[in-house]
Amino acid sequence: MIGALVYATGANTYFGKTAELVQGAQTVSHFQRAVLKIGNYLIILAVVLVATIIAFAIFRGDPILTTLQFALVLTVAAIPVAMPTMLSVTMAVGARLLAKKKAIVTRLVAIEELAGVDVLCADKTGTLTQNKLTLGDPFSVNKIPAGQVILAAALASRADNNDTIDLAVLGGLKNDQALKGYKLGHFQPFDPVQKRTEAAVTGPDGKAFKVTKGAPQVSLALSADAAEVKPAIDKAVNEFAARGFRSLGVARADGDGKWRFLGVLPLFDPPREDAKATIATARQMGVKVKMVTGDALAIAQETAKKLGMGTNILDAGGFGDTSGAKTFIVRYRADGGGRSAVQRFVTVGRFGKLTAEQARKQAKTILGSVATGEDPAGESNRSGRALEVVDKEVVQL
């Protein structure tokens, strides 16, 4: 039994405060700026014309009252008082048409904003893929049976967490009663810092041991036999990645407390059935689609190939410091300049701290991003939510 003290709930939590900041953010869209620019231009033009008319009237000696009446009519006619209303009605009609296509619009200006997007950055997991992991044939070391690798990973999983990886691992058990007789003690859930789960288990024979599953490099770093099995593990991980599989390292520690690496579990997340056609349609409309992922380069390359996005993959390591918005702008300009086209942005690291608003102000484009579902990758750096959703006001059901 683990005791826990709840010290914050709802809006007082870290995620609650983040949600409040997102809801409270007031940004002026490109469409609103365009309307304001048109209005300001007409107002300035009206003022210049009125000043010119008054000057000529005084010069010619025309009646001041008649001149002021003419200037008032010109001012009223020149200022587009009804333009915001007409535009709102037009966008409301557009929102009604989008509602028929099962799209909810929470801000009307988002319709025109999204229509002007030049570059669309899409998260891979859950957006371009189905976020339904399936377990492949595991790789084991030291002639350990594959069933033991899956069993150890299953003991380090919990079905009630409703985690995609845990459900995939538990689904890989050939016998539903395989976990019967094992008593789970302390369970440490996955977190993006340690990148693994860990469970203290007591077996049917009464012996206590620990199991862990997570990023292969993390599980390998725990193992006492890391130097011995590392070449084989690296080869297996690379082979799985080349086939589009994610890798999950599994290790076990017996009574002596020393971790022993058991093997690697491959997990496959197939692309959505309509993703390839959607990307092709977006390209025909002049929208450049980029894939953002925290997975390994080989996995990104294989997924991009299946989606018809090419194989030109970029690693964030080639961009130097990723702690400021400047890197974000350089990344976009690498696509718009004279260099070869960037097909994807990959392995974004701590990209989430970049402000897309600053990049938008300096880059001559309208950048949109979409991220749905959840990125549960054990080996991932959990950066699938890295890009700020610029046009999150349009939600596809």
User: Which residues, other chains included, contact 172 with Cβ-Cβ below 8 Å and sequence gap of 6+?
Assistant: 135, 150, 153, 154, 265
Q: Is 384 within the bounds of a domain?
A: yes
Closest CA to 182 of 194, 192, 193, 173: 173
Predicted confidence at residue 81, as pLDDT, reads 77
Tokens of residue 237, six digits:
């991980």
Rounded CA gap, 289 and 341, in Å?
12
Query: Are residue 325 and residue 264 in the same domain, yes or no?
Result: no
- Find out whether 123 and 292 touch, Cβ atoms under 8 Å: yes
Global pTM value: 0.60
Query: Are residue 355 and residue 295 in the same domain, yes or no?
Result: yes
- Find out whether 314 and 342 touch, Cβ atoms under 8 Å: yes
Mean pLDDT, residues 107-135 taken together: 82
- Domain end point (choices 245, 268, 291): 268
User: When comparing pLDDT for 37 and 348, which is higher?
Assistant: 37
Query: Are residue 144 and residue 258 in the same domain, yes or no?
Result: yes
Q: Is 96 within the bounds of a domain?
A: no
**Range name among 175-189, 314-328, 370-384 with the lowest pLDDT average:** 370-384
Residue 210 maps to which CATH number? 3.40.1110.10
Predicted confidence at residue 250, as pLDDT, reads 92
Mean pLDDT, residues 250-279 taken together: 88
Q: Is 250 within the bounds of a domain?
A: yes
Query: Are residue 177 and residue 298 in the same domain, yes or no?
Result: no
**Range name among 50-59, 266-275, 376-385 with the lowest pLDDT average:** 376-385
Query: Are residue 144 and residue 172 in the same domain, yes or no?
Result: yes
Query: Are residue 198 and residue 214 in the same domain, yes or no?
Result: yes
Q: Is 111 within the bounds of a domain?
A: no
pLDDT band at 265 (very low <50, low <70, confident <90, very high): very high
Q: Is 389 within the bounds of a domain?
A: yes
Query: Are residue 285 and residue 364 in the same domain, yes or no?
Result: yes
Q: Is 197 within the bounds of a domain?
A: yes
- Domain end point (choices 240, 268, 296): 268
Overall domain count for the chain: 3
Query: Are residue 296 and residue 202 in the same domain, yes or no?
Result: no
Tell me the residue range of the domain where 182 lies: 134-268
Residue 395: pLDDT over 60: no
For the chain, give the mean pLDDT. Answer: 75
Query: Are residue 237 and residue 386 in the same domain, yes or no?
Result: no
Give the pLDDT confidence of 53-104 residue by residue, as tens digits: 888 888 888 888 888 888 888 888 887 778 888 888 888 898 898 888 888 8
Mean pLDDT, residues 133-157 taken together: 88
Q: Is 97 within the bounds of a domain?
A: no
Residue 358 maps to which CATH number? 3.40.50.1000
Q: Is 358 within the bounds of a domain?
A: yes
Query: Are residue 280 and residue 211 in the same domain, yes or no?
Result: no
Residues annotated as part of the active site: 123
**Range name among 81-90, 195-204, 231-240, 310-319 with the lowest pLDDT average:** 310-319
Give the pLDDT confidence of 294-306 residue by residue, as tens digits: 777 778 888 888 8
Query: Are residue 139 and residue 175 in the same domain, yes or no?
Result: yes
Query: Are residue 384 and residue 368 in the same domain, yes or no?
Result: yes
Rounded CA gap, 115 and 113, in Å?
5
Predicted confidence at residue 166, as pLDDT, reads 86
Residue 150: pLDDT over 60: yes
Give me Rg for the CA atoms of the chain. 29
Helix (H, G, I), strand (E, B) or coil at 184: strand
